[in-house]
């Protein structure tokens, strides 16, 4: 397909999703239900719009995991998740993973893959 074709293909169907935290996650285009990416929920803090791929803006199926990599939620509507189920998920996760941030407003929070203590040492105290 040549270099130009490869560039266009990568723009329309990128091999990876780049999270607001800066981490890269492979997109599984063969997944049941559509293109799927698995990542820790903290990597999506600060994202107010649901990520899409292709010229038709197909929503990625987000398989959200805990800091330990355990599944906690699957969604095609990240803003709806932040506004709805997030409160219950965050409440449960705060108890299981108290060293990690679980902000009340994840769409307005800074994405991170670090614990609260690691962020505080590097950047000073954080509000959550």
Q: Where does residue 4 rank: exposed (0-12), middle (13-18), buried (19+ CB within 10 A)?
A: exposed
Indicate the pTM of the whole model: 0.84
Q: How many domains does the chain have?
A: 1
Query: Given this model, what pLDDT does residue 66 score?
Result: 96
**Which residues form the domain of 46?**
2-123
pLDDT per residue as tens digits for the range 93-123: 999 999 999 999 999 999 998 887 765 555 5
Q: Which ranges of the chain have pLDDT less than 50?
A: 126-128
In a domain, 128, yes or no: no
């Amino acid at each position: 397909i040549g270099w130009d074709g490869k560039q266009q293909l990568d723009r329309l169907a990128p091999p990876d999703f780049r999270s607001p935290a800066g981490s890269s996650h492979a997109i599984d285009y063969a997944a049941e239900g559509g293109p799927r990416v698995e990542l820790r929920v903290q990597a999506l803090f600060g994202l107010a719009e649901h990520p899409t791929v292709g010229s038709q803006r197909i929503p990625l199926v987000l398989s959200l995991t805990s800091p330990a990599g355990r599944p906690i939620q699957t969604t095609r509507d990240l803003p709806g998740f932040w506004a709805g189920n997030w409160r219950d998920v965050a409440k449960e996760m705060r108890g299981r993973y108290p060293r990690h941030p679980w902000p009340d407003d994840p769409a307005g929070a800074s994405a991170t893959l670090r614990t609260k203590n690691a962020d505080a040492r590097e950047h000073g105290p954080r509000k959550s």
